[in-house]
Chain A
Amino acid sequence: MAKFHGDTLCVICGTKIEHFEWEGELKNGRLIPAIPCEECKKTL
């Protein structure tokens, strides 16, 4: 399975998420996952 790593912006507040990893292709052919930062995760 393909392995990925990189940085992106929090899908909720826009804060930069410095390093994240995942494995496997995303759904819908998307190239970058939509993820929340640690702070936003607490509010979900």
Chain B
Amino acid sequence: MITENTTRDEQLNTKLSKNSTIKESQFGSGYLTVIKNAGKSNEEVICKDVHNVLTAEGTAWVHDQCYIDNSGQTGGARYIGLSNDGSFTPDRDDDRASWEAVEENSNGLVRANADSAVFNAGVSSTYIATSTIVKTFTCDTGAVAGIRVSSLLNNTRASGTSILVHSATFTSVDLEVDDTLQVTWVITLY
């Protein structure tokens, strides 16, 4: 077990707060928080706890992996992607093909495995269990305008086999070279 170290907490200096908007009636849901330049003097919270769309293919995949035959296991849905497509509005029928048609694929914003993925068993008063999945992207080659969608998939874009599980939109954000974008997905299942 790890004891929190106050000195290093202060160094990290992030300002994420708890998921106060999660309600008990919500089941198997994803919530998205996006922070530009987290921990820097020009930090900007782009969105907080935006409720997701859980796709049909994602729902089927979760059921299959967890309850049915666990076939073709590729790993968790902890790969985070971004898009700046102005017309993409995720819905239940979206899938890998429709997502990859609009997905960022350069400038440091390529879909990537999470930096951190943590399970929280919750406390006995509520049993609200969550998985928190975090990736910080750095815009590295050229500026990118209008980033406004994030999705969770179960593999890299290069794999060509991933499943689109969760997706959510937010107020668009422009990134210059060296700007960071911290994307946090919190998934509840209880």
Residues of A participating in the B interface, judged by any CB pair closer than 8 Å = 1-9, 11, 20-23, 26-36
Is B119 an interface residue when CB atoms closer than 8 A count as contact?
yes
Contact of A28 among B9, B134, B186 (CB under 8 A): B9
Q: Which residue of B lies closest to A23 (CB)?
A: B1
Chain A residues contacting B115 (CB-CB under 8 Å) are: 8-9
Residues of B participating in the A interface, judged by any CB pair closer than 8 Å = 1-6, 8-9, 11-12, 14-18, 115-123, 132, 134, 184, 186
Flag if B132 contacts A35 (CB, 8 Å).
no
Flag if B132 contacts A31 (CB, 8 Å).
yes
- 5 interchain residue pairs of minimum CB distance: A6-B118, A8-B116, A29-B17, A34-B12, A22-B2
Flag if A32 contacts B132 (CB, 8 Å).
yes
Chain B residues contacting A6 (CB-CB under 8 Å) are: 116-119, 132
Chain B residues contacting A9 (CB-CB under 8 Å) are: 115-116
Flag if B8 contacts A4 (CB, 8 Å).
no
Q: Would A7 and B117 be within 8 Å (CB), given that A30-B16, A32-B132, A35-B2 are in contact?
A: yes
Total number of A-B contacts with CB less than 8 angstroms?
A: 75
Q: Would A30 and B2 be within 8 Å (CB), given that A6-B118, A11-B8 are in contact?
A: no
Q: In the assembled complex, how far is the CB of residue A32 from the closest CB belonging to chain B, in whole angstroms? A: 5
Flag if B123 contacts A2 (CB, 8 Å).
yes
- The distance in angstroms between the C-alpha atoms of A9 and B121, with both chains bound, is 21
Chain A residues contacting B116 (CB-CB under 8 Å) are: 6-9, 32
Q: In the assembled complex, how far is the CB of residue A17 from the closest CB belonging to chain B, in whole angstroms? A: 9
Chain B residues contacting A30 (CB-CB under 8 Å) are: 9, 12, 14, 16
Q: Which residue of B lies closest to A17 (CB)?
A: B116
